[in-house]
Structure 1
Amino acid sequence: CVDGGDIAVLTMPWIDYMGPRKPRTVLQSIGLGHLGTCIPYCIGAKLAKPGARVFSITGDGSFLFNVQELDTAIKQETPFVVLIADNCCWGMIKNAEKRAFKKREAFCVDICSDYVKIAKGFGCHAERVEKPLDLKPAIQRAVDSGRPAVLQVPIRFVSPPGAKILASLRELQF
């Protein structure tokens, strides 16, 4: 299978967890990340290795950067599975608001988009997966569909481990 991921905060731990992989089986963004690479990476991976199963993990904000490429995936008949870790916010902005405004948030309200409807609108297989035990069968249904597939998985918002450290650097005057 070919894996990809465009959540910078999760990419490095994911690489550590997965361990060694065969050459040319992982596409990932590292460092500051490449927002929106999920769907284009999946299409490219599937075209490069038509017989491989292609999976990607992305965040809800990043997913929207190139969501229109689901149309390309349908037209090119490139099946893959995208798992959206949906915390109903743009984490970078929410963290900044928490630091700047303490308890009040200006732009990050917990109104969640329906990515299942969006994906189905393009002709993709799509499901919302609420429980961890439902994830494996949902992934199997997505693979079995033979189409690009989107699994929306609600998660709770947590600040990345390094956020407090990075925020404290502001206090140092270089």
Structure 2
Amino acid sequence: MKKIKSIITLILALGVTCANASNTKNGTTETANDSLRLAELNNFWAEVSRTVNEGDFEGYKATYHEDAVVVFTTGENKGSVTIAKALQNWKQGFIDTKTGKTRNSVEFRFSQRIGDETTAHETGIFAFQSDNGTGNANQKQFVHFNALLIKRDKTWLLVMEYQKSKATEEEWNSLE
């Protein structure tokens, strides 16, 4: 009888584990909750791309938590700033895009995505390209980045964006 209870317990435990696992990727089991979170985050990053592509400053601003911090270690101006200060510096680029003076685009690819229902830490590369209307688009810039997000009232918000280092096109191509 004891043996039967042990077998039933084992079968139930395996069943729960299998029911929670939707797939395995890179040796990591992805649960249904992970799939939902990743789908929501994919929508989030698509929205960030849309706002940059369309010059939607208010939409872009809405993707950040009001107390967010941006960290730069890729260019001459290394440091960290509040999102309010970063947005001040970026606003003209959005205005120029909105009015058609420039065309900007950004895409995201990820090497690691960790989180739960209300938190996420995303690691990857973004590719940014700008065209000032002269027909000579700037070469795509590839940047390694980390992003820390929280979910508030069903909305994902960036709390921290860390632009770490320049990436290569080969590194970009190696990510899905």
Q: Give your verdict on TM over 0.5.
A: no
Question: TM-score w.r.t. structure 2 length?
Answer: 0.23
Which is richer in strand? 2
Which is richer in helix? 1
Q: Which one has the largest radius of gyration?
A: 2
Question: TM-score w.r.t. structure 1 length?
Answer: 0.23
